[in-house]
Amino acid sequence: MARVTVEDCIDKVENRFELVLLASHRARQVSQGSAITVDRDNDKNPVVALREIADETLSPGDLKEDLIHSLQKHVEVDEPEPDHSNLIPAEQMVDDSVPAEAAADEGVSFASMSEEELLAGIEGLVPPEKSDDF
């Protein structure tokens, strides 16, 4: 290809501004030593990048993902959160999933508790201090 134009690339990347971002990112990659996928023909890096986009030797979607990844400073990794329910003592649990303090705030019904769970909860309570007023 003797000369690459924006019209050659605009059907691959619809937005001209995005085309400029992708081509400049690819040109930086080429200048850092990345292998090119078209013949150089004594062209400069931005022209090589535009020719790669026009010839569809590189996917614009892949370039976009790589550009986004290169701009990120902190990459989040989706990992399952640890289960913190086992850190709360059993005496403070209304049922297996709700702490007693949260149950009082959320209006959890105690009618769904078994008798053993209720007794275990009562045993965990501290008796009130006795006073000599009575």
* The dihedral sign for the CA sequence 68, 73, 79, 84: negative
Whether residue 66 is found in the same domain as residue 96: no
Residue 78 inside a domain? The answer is no
pLDDT of residue 112: 75
Per the structure, the count of domains in the chain is 2
How many CA atoms does the CB half-sphere of 26 hold within 13 Å?
Answer: 30
pLDDT of residue 10: 85
The residue that leads in pLDDT, 69 or 129, is 69
Residue 129 inside a domain? The answer is no
Residue 134 inside a domain? The answer is no
Residue 114 inside a domain? The answer is yes
Indicate the pTM of the whole model. 0.52
Whether residue 48 is found in the same domain as residue 96: no
Lowest-pLDDT choice from 35-49, 85-99, 117-131 = 85-99
Whether residue 56 is found in the same domain as residue 92: no
Residue 132 inside a domain? The answer is no
Whether residue 93 is found in the same domain as residue 65: no
Lowest-pLDDT choice from 21-25, 78-82, 98-102 = 98-102
Residues found in the chain: 134
Average pLDDT of span 39-59: 89
CATH number at residue 29: 3.90.940.10
The domain containing residue 116 runs over which residues?
86-123
First to last CA, the chain: 103
